[in-house]
Structure 1
Amino acid sequence: MKDSYRFRPHEKLRTSQEYLEVKRVGKRSRTTHFGVNFLINGLDYHRLGLIVTKRFWNAVERNRIKRRVREWFRLHKHHIPLPGRDIVIIARQGAERLSSTEVARELLRVFVKQDGRSS
Protein backbone atom coordinates (compact mmCIF):
# COMPACT_ATOMS: atom_id res chain seq x y z
CA MET A 1 0.00 0.00 0.00
CA LYS A 2 2.76 2.43 0.94
CA ASP A 3 4.41 1.87 -2.46
CA SER A 4 1.30 3.07 -4.29
CA TYR A 5 1.85 6.58 -2.88
CA ARG A 6 5.31 6.95 -4.38
CA PHE A 7 6.02 9.19 -7.36
CA ARG A 8 7.64 6.65 -9.67
CA PRO A 9 9.99 7.56 -12.54
CA HIS A 10 7.59 6.08 -15.12
CA GLU A 11 4.89 8.53 -13.91
CA LYS A 12 6.81 11.55 -15.24
CA LEU A 13 6.54 13.10 -18.68
CA ARG A 14 10.12 13.26 -19.90
CA THR A 15 10.46 14.49 -23.47
CA SER A 16 9.41 17.72 -25.11
CA GLN A 17 7.51 15.56 -27.64
CA GLU A 18 5.29 14.24 -24.83
CA TYR A 19 4.61 17.78 -23.58
CA LEU A 20 3.86 19.02 -27.11
CA GLU A 21 1.47 16.14 -27.81
CA VAL A 22 -0.53 16.92 -24.66
CA LYS A 23 -0.66 20.60 -25.58
CA ARG A 24 -1.56 19.96 -29.24
CA VAL A 25 -4.19 17.22 -28.85
CA GLY A 26 -5.25 17.28 -25.19
CA LYS A 27 -8.05 19.03 -23.39
CA ARG A 28 -7.47 22.21 -21.42
CA SER A 29 -8.77 23.51 -18.15
CA ARG A 30 -7.89 26.54 -16.05
CA THR A 31 -7.97 27.27 -12.39
CA THR A 32 -7.08 30.48 -10.62
CA HIS A 33 -3.40 29.53 -10.27
CA PHE A 34 -2.84 26.74 -12.80
CA GLY A 35 -3.41 25.82 -16.40
CA VAL A 36 -4.03 22.10 -16.82
CA ASN A 37 -3.70 20.17 -20.08
CA PHE A 38 -4.45 16.46 -20.17
CA LEU A 39 -4.67 13.68 -22.69
CA ILE A 40 -5.67 10.02 -22.43
CA ASN A 41 -2.37 8.11 -22.65
CA GLY A 42 -3.50 4.50 -23.15
CA LEU A 43 -1.64 3.35 -20.03
CA ASP A 44 -2.91 2.01 -16.71
CA TYR A 45 -1.48 4.99 -14.82
CA HIS A 46 -1.29 8.76 -15.00
CA ARG A 47 1.87 10.72 -15.86
CA LEU A 48 2.70 14.24 -14.71
CA GLY A 49 4.58 17.08 -16.37
CA LEU A 50 5.21 20.52 -14.84
CA ILE A 51 5.87 23.90 -16.40
CA VAL A 52 7.02 26.60 -13.96
CA THR A 53 8.62 29.47 -15.87
CA LYS A 54 11.52 31.61 -14.71
CA ARG A 55 9.61 34.73 -15.76
CA PHE A 56 7.67 35.15 -12.52
CA TRP A 57 9.66 33.41 -9.80
CA ASN A 58 13.14 32.90 -8.45
CA ALA A 59 14.53 29.36 -8.03
CA VAL A 60 13.29 28.95 -4.46
CA GLU A 61 9.69 29.81 -5.40
CA ARG A 62 9.77 27.64 -8.56
CA ASN A 63 11.01 24.66 -6.59
CA ARG A 64 8.37 25.20 -3.88
CA ILE A 65 5.60 25.19 -6.51
CA LYS A 66 6.99 22.04 -8.12
CA ARG A 67 7.30 20.24 -4.78
CA ARG A 68 3.71 21.05 -3.84
CA VAL A 69 2.29 19.96 -7.19
CA ARG A 70 4.31 16.72 -7.16
CA GLU A 71 3.10 16.06 -3.62
CA TRP A 72 -0.51 16.64 -4.73
CA PHE A 73 -0.01 14.15 -7.57
CA ARG A 74 1.65 11.59 -5.32
CA LEU A 75 -1.18 11.66 -2.77
CA HIS A 76 -4.15 12.09 -5.12
CA LYS A 77 -3.31 10.20 -8.33
CA HIS A 78 -5.66 7.43 -7.18
CA HIS A 79 -8.56 9.91 -7.07
CA ILE A 80 -8.13 10.91 -10.72
CA PRO A 81 -10.47 8.68 -12.72
CA LEU A 82 -9.00 6.18 -15.18
CA PRO A 83 -8.15 5.72 -18.05
CA GLY A 84 -4.59 6.92 -17.57
CA ARG A 85 -3.85 10.49 -18.54
CA ASP A 86 -0.80 12.56 -19.34
CA ILE A 87 -1.24 15.69 -17.25
CA VAL A 88 0.72 18.90 -17.81
CA ILE A 89 0.30 21.54 -15.13
CA ILE A 90 1.38 25.11 -15.89
CA ALA A 91 1.85 27.35 -12.87
CA ARG A 92 0.43 30.88 -13.06
CA GLN A 93 1.12 33.94 -10.94
CA GLY A 94 0.06 33.53 -7.33
CA ALA A 95 0.79 29.79 -7.23
CA GLU A 96 3.82 30.40 -5.03
CA ARG A 97 1.57 31.59 -2.19
CA LEU A 98 -0.62 28.46 -2.10
CA SER A 99 -0.35 25.90 0.67
CA SER A 100 -0.29 22.19 -0.18
CA THR A 101 -3.95 21.93 0.84
CA GLU A 102 -4.95 24.81 -1.46
CA VAL A 103 -3.02 23.26 -4.37
CA ALA A 104 -4.81 19.94 -3.80
CA ARG A 105 -8.24 21.56 -3.59
CA GLU A 106 -7.70 23.56 -6.78
CA LEU A 107 -6.28 20.73 -8.89
CA LEU A 108 -8.68 18.01 -7.72
CA ARG A 109 -11.59 20.21 -8.75
CA VAL A 110 -10.41 20.00 -12.37
CA PHE A 111 -10.49 16.21 -12.49
CA VAL A 112 -13.63 15.70 -10.45
CA LYS A 113 -15.46 18.12 -12.75
CA GLN A 114 -14.18 16.31 -15.87
CA ASP A 115 -15.48 13.00 -14.54
CA GLY A 116 -19.01 14.41 -14.34
CA ARG A 117 -19.18 14.38 -10.55
CA SER A 118 -19.61 17.52 -8.49
CA SER A 119 -17.07 18.60 -5.91
Structure 2
Amino acid sequence: MTADELQVVVETTDDDVVVIRVRGSLDGWSAPSGLVEALEAAAGSGGRLTVADLSRLEFADSTGLHVLLNARHRHVDAGVRLVLAGPLKTEVRRLLEVSGTLGAFTVADTVDAALTC
Protein backbone atom coordinates (compact mmCIF):
# COMPACT_ATOMS: atom_id res chain seq x y z
CA MET A 1 0.00 0.00 0.00
CA THR A 2 1.31 3.44 -0.89
CA ALA A 3 0.67 6.49 1.27
CA ASP A 4 -2.00 7.70 -1.17
CA GLU A 5 -4.05 4.51 -1.20
CA LEU A 6 -7.22 4.42 0.86
CA GLN A 7 -7.47 1.62 3.40
CA VAL A 8 -10.66 0.95 5.36
CA VAL A 9 -10.92 -1.44 8.30
CA VAL A 10 -14.26 -2.06 10.02
CA GLU A 11 -14.62 -3.30 13.59
CA THR A 12 -17.85 -3.91 15.52
CA THR A 13 -17.84 -3.81 19.30
CA ASP A 14 -20.00 -5.87 21.63
CA ASP A 15 -22.11 -2.81 22.46
CA ASP A 16 -23.31 -2.08 18.90
CA VAL A 17 -20.64 0.43 17.91
CA VAL A 18 -19.10 0.27 14.45
CA VAL A 19 -15.57 1.70 14.26
CA ILE A 20 -14.36 2.45 10.74
CA ARG A 21 -10.62 3.12 10.60
CA VAL A 22 -9.54 5.11 7.56
CA ARG A 23 -5.97 5.45 6.37
CA GLY A 24 -4.40 7.19 3.36
CA SER A 25 -6.05 9.74 1.08
CA LEU A 26 -9.77 10.25 0.56
CA ASP A 27 -10.01 11.87 -2.83
CA GLY A 28 -11.16 11.27 -6.39
CA TRP A 29 -8.07 9.18 -7.11
CA SER A 30 -8.42 6.86 -4.13
CA ALA A 31 -11.57 4.98 -5.19
CA PRO A 32 -13.53 5.66 -1.99
CA SER A 33 -16.19 3.02 -2.69
CA GLY A 34 -14.92 0.81 0.16
CA LEU A 35 -15.45 3.62 2.64
CA VAL A 36 -18.84 4.49 1.16
CA GLU A 37 -19.92 0.86 1.51
CA ALA A 38 -18.63 0.64 5.09
CA LEU A 39 -20.44 3.84 6.11
CA GLU A 40 -23.67 2.73 4.39
CA ALA A 41 -23.53 -0.66 6.11
CA ALA A 42 -22.88 0.98 9.48
CA ALA A 43 -25.85 3.32 9.08
CA GLY A 44 -28.09 0.42 8.14
CA SER A 45 -26.81 -1.96 10.83
CA GLY A 46 -29.18 -0.81 13.53
CA GLY A 47 -26.26 -0.01 15.79
CA ARG A 48 -26.24 2.91 18.17
CA LEU A 49 -23.05 4.63 17.01
CA THR A 50 -20.60 4.77 14.12
CA VAL A 51 -17.12 6.13 14.77
CA ALA A 52 -15.11 7.11 11.70
CA ASP A 53 -11.50 7.10 12.89
CA LEU A 54 -9.85 9.67 10.64
CA SER A 55 -6.65 10.00 12.69
CA ARG A 56 -4.62 8.32 9.93
CA LEU A 57 -6.35 10.08 7.04
CA GLU A 58 -3.57 12.09 5.42
CA PHE A 59 -5.59 14.05 2.87
CA ALA A 60 -9.17 14.64 1.75
CA ASP A 61 -10.62 16.74 -1.04
CA SER A 62 -14.16 17.53 -2.19
CA THR A 63 -14.73 13.86 -3.02
CA GLY A 64 -13.92 12.96 0.58
CA LEU A 65 -16.11 15.75 1.87
CA HIS A 66 -18.97 14.47 -0.28
CA VAL A 67 -18.51 10.94 1.14
CA LEU A 68 -18.59 12.24 4.73
CA LEU A 69 -21.60 14.50 4.17
CA ASN A 70 -23.57 11.72 2.49
CA ALA A 71 -22.68 9.42 5.39
CA ARG A 72 -23.88 12.04 7.85
CA HIS A 73 -27.22 12.35 6.06
CA ARG A 74 -27.64 8.58 5.87
CA HIS A 75 -26.86 8.21 9.58
CA VAL A 76 -29.30 10.97 10.53
CA ASP A 77 -32.02 9.31 8.44
CA ALA A 78 -31.28 5.95 10.11
CA GLY A 79 -31.18 7.41 13.62
CA VAL A 80 -27.58 6.33 14.17
CA ARG A 81 -24.99 8.74 15.58
CA LEU A 82 -21.90 9.36 13.46
CA VAL A 83 -18.79 10.71 15.16
CA LEU A 84 -15.56 11.64 13.40
CA ALA A 85 -12.55 10.78 15.56
CA GLY A 86 -9.12 12.32 15.33
CA PRO A 87 -6.88 13.90 15.94
CA LEU A 88 -7.62 15.25 12.47
CA LYS A 89 -4.65 16.11 10.28
CA THR A 90 -4.38 19.81 9.43
CA GLU A 91 -5.40 19.20 5.80
CA VAL A 92 -8.56 17.33 6.78
CA ARG A 93 -9.61 19.81 9.46
CA ARG A 94 -8.96 22.70 7.08
CA LEU A 95 -11.21 21.13 4.43
CA LEU A 96 -14.05 20.92 6.94
CA GLU A 97 -13.43 24.46 8.18
CA VAL A 98 -13.07 26.12 4.77
CA SER A 99 -16.16 24.35 3.43
CA GLY A 100 -18.16 25.46 6.48
CA THR A 101 -19.10 21.87 7.32
CA LEU A 102 -17.09 21.25 10.49
CA GLY A 103 -20.11 22.18 12.61
CA ALA A 104 -22.26 19.62 10.79
CA PHE A 105 -20.27 16.80 12.38
CA THR A 106 -19.66 15.63 15.90
CA VAL A 107 -15.87 15.49 16.17
CA ALA A 108 -13.95 13.85 19.01
CA ASP A 109 -10.24 14.12 19.71
CA THR A 110 -9.77 10.33 19.89
CA VAL A 111 -11.63 7.11 19.25
CA ASP A 112 -11.96 6.58 23.02
CA ALA A 113 -13.55 10.01 23.38
CA ALA A 114 -15.86 9.28 20.43
CA LEU A 115 -17.12 6.14 22.14
CA THR A 116 -18.57 8.27 24.93
CA CYS A 117 -20.38 10.72 22.63
> TM-score scaled by structure 1?
0.29
Which is richer in helix?
Answer: 1
User: Which has the bigger relative contact order, CA under 8 A and spacing at least 6?
Assistant: 1
